[in-house]
Chain A
Amino acid sequence: KAGVTQTPRYLIKTRGQQVTLSCSPISGHRSVSWYQQTPGQGLQFLFEYFSETQRNKGNFPGRFSGRQFSNSRSEMNVSTLELGDSALYLCASRMAANTGELFFGEGSRLTVL
């Protein structure tokens, strides 16, 4: 059974640009969550999607957005990038929202110059 797949694994952007990250969950998993990991703030919850609907949202500005497609694949977008957005963005999937073990992908490492 394939794991959670995140693309791209590494990317470099400049301030002011926007970025889109993709996450394909484990087959059969309908919930996808996104986390930001930085050395200073640790792991912070961004949002969770289930059945194409955002079910829960962390405390991030509106520049951070996401969506989920009918096949459960998810994308997150960050607009008007800032230096502080440099981080490892982790996607995690599970069978259903609100319950069950989270399975993490390897992450997308974003560097903002």
Chain B
Amino acid sequence: AQSVTQLGSHVSVSEGALVLLRCNYSSSVPPYLFWYVQYPNQGLQLLLKYTTGATLVKGINGFEAEFKKSETSFHLTKPSAHMSDAAEYFCAVTPGRNNNDMRFGAGTRLTVKP
């Protein structure tokens, strides 16, 4: 079965600094990978996804992630953090296109300091 591990349950950055949230996956078949964001008292919103093709994926709000098969990683980055980026971020994996078994990581809470 597939799984994801998010390294660091809490990440704190200063406004304007680089955001790097780490995600490593395990999958026996080529995975589809997702990053979701959750603001307080809200549901999850899709930031970006990797299915096939280009390994660098651009998402909403200036976020991007790169699929690295050799490292089994799908880290999320943003060049310059904004206060509004403070939220919880979840990495998720499915076994390819058949994503009726989406597995989520434990989440990383991002704090942005002024």
| Contacting residues, chain A, for B107 (C-beta < 8 A) | 42-43
Q: Which residues of B contact A (CB under 8 A)?
A: 36, 41-46, 49, 90, 97-102, 104-107
| Contacting residues, chain B, for A107 (C-beta < 8 A) | 41-43
Task: State how many angstroms separate the Cβ of A96 from the closest Cβ of chain B.
Answer: 10
Task: State how many angstroms separate the Cβ of B92 from the closest Cβ of chain A.
Answer: 8
A45, A56, A97, A105: which contacts B43 (Cβ < 8 A)?
A105
Q: Give the docked Cα–Cα distance between A100 and B101 (Å).
A: 12
Q: Which residue of A lies closest to B92 (CB)?
A: A43
Task: State how many angstroms separate the Cβ of A4 from the closest Cβ of chain B.
Answer: 7
Given contacts A42-B107, A43-B104, A106 and B41 within 8 Å (CB-CB) = yes
Q: Which residues of A contact B (CB under 8 A)?
A: 4, 6, 42-43, 45, 48, 55-56, 90, 92, 97-107, 109
Q: Which residue of B lies closest to A55 (CB)?
A: B100
Task: State how many angstroms separate the Cβ of B65 from the closest Cβ of chain A.
Answer: 15
| Contacting residues, chain B, for A48 (C-beta < 8 A) | 100
| Contacting residues, chain B, for A106 (C-beta < 8 A) | 41-43
Given contacts A42-B106, A42-B107, A104 and B100 within 8 Å (CB-CB) = no
| Contacting residues, chain B, for A109 (C-beta < 8 A) | 41
Q: Determine whether the beta carbon of A102 is less than 8 Å from that of B100.
A: no
Main secondary structure of the interface of B (DSSP, over half): loop
| Contacting residues, chain A, for B43 (C-beta < 8 A) | 4, 6, 90, 92, 104-107
Q: Determine whether the beta carbon of A45 is less than 8 Å from that of B42.
A: no
| Contacting residues, chain B, for A98 (C-beta < 8 A) | 97-100
Q: Give the docked Cα–Cα distance between A42 and B108 (Å).
A: 11
Task: State how many angstroms separate the Cβ of B35 from the closest Cβ of chain A.
Answer: 12
Task: State how many angstroms separate the Cβ of A58 from the closest Cβ of chain B.
Answer: 9
Q: Determine whether the beta carbon of B104 is less than 8 Å from that of A42.
A: yes
Q: Which residue of B lies closest to A3 (CB)?
A: B43
A56, A99, A103: which contacts B97 (Cβ < 8 A)?
A99
Q: Which residue of B lies closest to A101 (CB)?
A: B46
| Contacting residues, chain B, for A6 (C-beta < 8 A) | 43
Task: State how many angstroms separate the Cβ of A106 from the closest Cβ of chain B.
Answer: 5
Report, nearest first, the 10 A-B pairs whose CB atoms are least far apart: A104-B43, A43-B104, A104-B44, A98-B100, A106-B43, A42-B106, A56-B100, A105-B43, A106-B42, A98-B98
